[in-house]
Amino acid sequence: MKTNYMKQFMVALLLLLVIAPAAKSQITVSCDDLRQRGNNLSIDVLIKVDGSEFKKRDALSLIPVLTQGSQSLELPVILFNGRVSQKVYNRELDLNNLEGPQPYAVIPVEKGLNTVNYQMTIPFQPWMKGAELLLIPDNCACGGNVPGDPLLLGTVLTRPDVAYEPTVTLVYVTPEVEMIKQRAEVGTAYLDFVVAKSEILPNFRNNAVELAKIDQTIRTVTSDPNITLKGLILRGYASPEGNYQFNTKLAQDRVKALQRYIEQKHNFPASIFNVSSVPEDWDGFRKAVEANYDVPSRGSVLTIIDSNDAPDVKEQKLKALDGGKPYRYVLENIFPSLRRSDYQVDYIVREFTAEEGREIIKINPKQLSLSEMFAVANTYDEGTKEYNEVFAIALQLYPDDPVANLNAANVAISEGNFAAAAAYLAKAGNSAAAQNARGVLNLLEGNLDAAEQLFKQAQAAGIPSATLNLEELEKKRADNALFDSFK
């Protein structure tokens, strides 16, 4: 196994020395590095030889060998010489009798510990993955060289094929129970009236279509056995043209006419109605002008609207502005949309079991409370398509609810949609479960320090899952360090 260089030295040593048994030397080793770094293999081994029993004629060679199955590679040896053996070595070296690869180091042995830091970088070959690095002691003794028992220095570490993927734990939160499920159907009707009149003519202009909208909304509520009607709110609006006092009475009369129509059409008692009116809808007028850049002299029109003048004075100023051009425009393009009746049908929905909810969520999900939706989700296995869809529906119906956003964020994280998860978590509040979810998102995105702080906050607030996630974080941190070690 030894090179020609070493063989020549050993032959010379045997010829020149009085033959005597070589002392066994105590060898201790520690491997600080034995890993692939890019295309190379880095070796860093600390070797110590106890020279207290080392004789002056002793010679010890330590031969590092990489081995894996049938493949092996012998690395440069380290030679430890007693005083006389070192003289022989120096003589042979001076006579140029030693050929071939030179030793890694030649150490004249002293009493006590003799230390060599064996550091080397060699080209990495595929067979070296998982190979063992052995150190074979070879003593010079009478009759030849006697190999000792190999010392295992370590196993070659190579960069893992894939990074560690943390197994995170998300916390889905049960929403608070909605004791009374109050709901409402709302709409706006644009009824046409004969000038200065308040009577509703069903076949006048587009009234049939507008009244049908109201009737359909009411029938949707009254025909559903799961619903109890609670009341109807009607609010009538008039546009700013004409005398304010007249418009006040006109708006009142027209909304009352709508009330009478609904009472007769659906056989409702007057007691369920809440009726009000707005004589001239200047707020709606302002919003419409602000949104419409085609209004002539738009800035001046807004100034008039915002003034503290009486409504009739404002109207006169609008008529006089820019030769009446702005007034004619708003009279034709804006005022018609201000003459309207807003309606709201209030009702209460009964409670549903989870099994009933599975059907209701398909046909009319807004009849379910958040807590009922959560119960429906839990009838499916976590992470399934059906499970995730329930939380998506909940978010659509309750877009600003912190719990709905938190549960939707958990779904998005589980699906790998981190951008959506971040958007939902921005509206999820600061509960311990939300902090845990934010920690999970940071962990999966590689922000380990931020994740650690969030997990610790959730852990302190009593979230057991945060403890599990902290353990996964430490595994990921260790994996990152392992990957970094191969750079």
Work out the average pLDDT over 305-314: 96
**CA–centroid distance for 33 within its chain:** 36
Q: What is the pLDDT of residue 445?
A: 96
The CATH code of the domain at 4-155 is 2.60.40.10
Question: What is the CATH superfamily name and number for domain 369-484?
Answer: Tetratricopeptide repeat domain (1.25.40.10)
Give how far Cα 14 sits from Cα of 10, 76, 88, Å: 6, 22, 10
Q: How far apart are the first and last CA of the chain?
A: 33
Instruction: Answer whether residue 142 shows pLDDT above 50.
Output: no
Q: Could you tell me if 278 and 251 are in contact, meaning their C-beta atoms sit under 8 angstroms apart?
A: yes
Q: What is the pLDDT of residue 9?
A: 54
Percent of the chain past pLDDT 70, that is, above it, reads 93
Map out the domains of the chain as residue ranges: 4-155, 181-347, 369-484
Span 52-93, pLDDT tens digits? 989 999 999 999 999 999 999 999 999 999 999 999 999 988
Work out the average pLDDT over 414-420: 95
Question: How far apart, in whole angstroms, are the C-alpha atoms of residue 311 and residue 295?
Answer: 20
Q: What is the pLDDT of residue 161?
A: 80
Helix (H) or strand (E) holding 67: strand 59-68
Question: How far apart, in whole angstroms, are the C-alpha atoms of residue 381 and residue 384?
Answer: 6
- Pick from 1-10, 85-94, 146-155, 424-433 the range whose average pLDDT is largest: 424-433
Instruction: Answer whether residue 144 shows pLDDT above 50.
Output: no
**Domain 181-347, second-level architecture:** 2-Layer Sandwich (3.30)
Span 313-330, pLDDT tens digits? 999 999 999 999 999 999
Position with higher pLDDT, 342 vs 16: 342
